[in-house]
């Protein structure tokens, strides 16, 4: 228990830093599945003792060489949902741990995560421990992998159409909205034999691009429903607490409110659209203009440019981006 508390105290920063608020109100953003890449987290573990401790602890908790899979692959193993989800969760935590180690006074005032990343955001905000979150996302990954294998689902990205037009396409083709990422980028999900019809309709109606995605199944659609009761049962085993900072839920695009609501929203999220653009707009309306993307990839930074180019955006996914973020924070501190 003492080790668990130490990990959380090191990573979670929940109150505005007194006299050291580097930019403005800062929100942390955490990646979702699909951002995994072989080698993720390896240089962070070599560079940062705090990140390395998390990697070693994750292997102990799960009883598998999760860090090896992240650092060395192979790709086929890492892309399995049961490893991709806890792997991304782990590397996201490692990125934040390395940042806090380099900038001890760094604080954040809000958090959000894309799909899987919502669990990471809740854990770093203190709703659950690192250990609890890791076990939870591993279980979630297994449940979703089994749902994928039991159904024949697919997804497609549609670029250049708005939500109204895309909803009409969904209704006609029998698919559903899965991700509302940013202006002009929406992902749809459903039975694999219906995805081509959605793609064709999108192109007919002026989409700049519409393509089927290489995915294991129809995430964030009713085809994932078998994972919901099992995830709910796992969540009931955990005593959740109120997050120390606002954490924006994917389903509502508003802050989570209370442990019971958190459980319900996380279960609902499995079959519901991720309202990412609306989530970011909540932060902007509340005076957040600085964001830090943590974890593998840079998809969230790309979405941010389409939502609000004026927002300050930092990213930590490896040592190079960590050093750049630390330098930016140091430069802002020196003139504030």
What is the DSSP annotation of 131-155? HHHHHHHHHHHHHHHHHHHHS-EEE
d(Cα 60, Cα 51) in Å, to the nearest integer?
A: 15
Count how many domains the chain has.
Answer: 2
Helix axes 49-62, 2-11, angle to 10 degrees: 140
Same domain assignment for residues 53 and 167: no
The alpha carbon dihedral of 113, 87, 272, 266 has a sign of negative
Query: 10 Å Cβ neighbour count for 134?
Result: 25
Residue in 136, 157, 131, 150 with CA at minimum distance from that of residue 59 = 131
How would you write the pLDDT of the chain (336 residues) with one tens digit per residue? 333 333 344 344 443 333 344 457 999 999 999 899 999 999 999 999 999 999 999 999 999 999 999 999 999 999 999 999 999 999 999 999 999 999 998 999 999 999 999 999 999 999 999 999 999 999 999 999 999 999 999 999 999 999 999 999 999 999 999 999 999 999 999 999 999 999 999 999 999 999 999 888 999 999 999 999 999 999 999 999 999 999 999 999 999 999 999 999 999 999 999 999 999 999 999 999 899 999 999 999 999 999 999 999 999 999 999 999 999 988 765 444
Do 331 and 232 fall within a single domain?
A: yes
Question: Are residue 144 and residue 160 in the same domain, yes or no?
Answer: no
Identify the CATH number of the domain in which residue 90 sits.
3.40.366.10
Same domain for 41 and 108?
yes
203 and 280 within one domain: no
**From the CB of residue 60, how many other CB atoms can be counted at a distance below 10 Å?**
10
DSSP 8-state assignment for residue 255: B
Domain that holds residue 136: 2-149+222-335
Considering the domain architecture, whether residues 105 and 227 belong to the same structural domain is answered as yes
Task: Please identify which of the residues 115, 272, 279, 321 carries the catalytic annotation.
Answer: 115
256 labelled catalytic: no
Final residue in a domain of this structure, among 213, 232, 260: 213
260 and 142 co-located in one domain: yes
Tell me what pLDDT residue 252 has: 96
Are 294 and 92 spatial neighbours (Cβ–Cβ below 8 Å)? yes
- In Å, what is the CA distance from 323 to each residue of 262, 315, 318, 326, 329? 34, 10, 9, 5, 10
* 142 and 31 co-located in one domain: yes
How far is 204 from 114, CA to CA, in rounded Å? Answer: 30
What does each C-alpha distance from 148 to 81, 153, 157, 243, 294 come to in angstroms? 10, 7, 19, 31, 27
**Is 115 an active-site residue?**
yes
**Residue of 220, 272, 301, 317 marked active site:** 220
- Residues 12, 97 within the same domain: yes
Is there a single domain that holds both residue 7 and residue 107? yes
Same-domain pairing of 131 and 183: no
The string over 212-243, giving b where at least 16 C-beta atoms fall within 10 Å of a residue's C-beta and e elsewhere, is: eeebbbbbbbbbbebbbebbeebbeebebeeb
Angle, helices 276-285 vs 299-307, to 10°: value is 60
Do 169 and 84 fall into the same domain?
no
Whole-angstrom Cα distance, residue 112 to residue 29? 5
* pLDDT for the residue 332: 63
* Residue matched to tokens 């949902």: 81
Q: Is the pTM of this model over 0.85?
A: yes
Q: 287-312: buried (b, 16+ CB within 10 Å) or exposed (e) per residue?
A: ebbbbbbbbbbbbbbebbeebbeebb
Q: What is the CATH number of the domain that holds 188?
A: 3.30.70.250
Residue 13's pLDDT is 44
């Amino acid at each position: 228990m003492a080790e668990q508390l130490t990990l959380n105290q090191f990573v979670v920063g929940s109150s505005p830093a007194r006299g050291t608020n580097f930019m403005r109100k800062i929100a942390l953003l955490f990646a979702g599945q699909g951002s995994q890449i072989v080698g993720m987290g390896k240089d962070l573990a070599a560079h940062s003792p705090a990140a390395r401790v998390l990697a070693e602890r994750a292997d102990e908790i799960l009883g598998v060489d999760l860090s090896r899979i992240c650092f060395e692959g192979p790709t086929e193993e890492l892309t399995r949902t049961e490893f991709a989800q806890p792997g991304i969760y782990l590397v996201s935590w490692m990125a934040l741990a390395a940042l806090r180690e380099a900038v001890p006074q760094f604080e954040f005032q809000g958090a959000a995560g894309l799909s899987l990343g919502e669990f990471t955001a809740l854990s770093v905000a203190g709703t659950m421990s690192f250990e609890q979150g890791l076990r939870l996302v591993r279980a979630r990954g297994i449940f979703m992998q089994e749902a994928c294998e039991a159904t024949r689902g697919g997804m497609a990205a549609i670029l250049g159409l708005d939500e109204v037009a895309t909803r009409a396409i969904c209704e006609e083709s029998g698919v559903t909205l899965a991700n509302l990422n940013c202006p002009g980028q929406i992902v749809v999900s459903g039975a694999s034999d219906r995805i081509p019809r959605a793609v064709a309709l999108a192109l007919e109606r002026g989409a700049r691009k519409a393509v089927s995605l290489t995915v294991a199944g129809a995430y964030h659609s009713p085809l994932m429903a078998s994972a919901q009761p099992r995830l709910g049962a796992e969540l009931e085993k955990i005593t959740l607490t109120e997050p120390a900072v606002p954490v924006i839920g994917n389903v509502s695009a508003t802050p989570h409110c209370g442990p019971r609501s958190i459980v319900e929203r996380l279960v609902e999220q499995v079959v519901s659209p991720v309202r990412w653009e609306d989530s970011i707009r909540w932060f902007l309306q509340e005076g957040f203009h600085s964001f830090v993307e943590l974890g593998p990839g840079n998809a969230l930074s790309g979405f941010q440019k389409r939502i609000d180019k004026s927002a300050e955006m930092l990213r930590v996914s490896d040592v190079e981006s960590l050093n750049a973020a630390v330098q930016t924070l140091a430069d802002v501190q020196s003139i504030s």
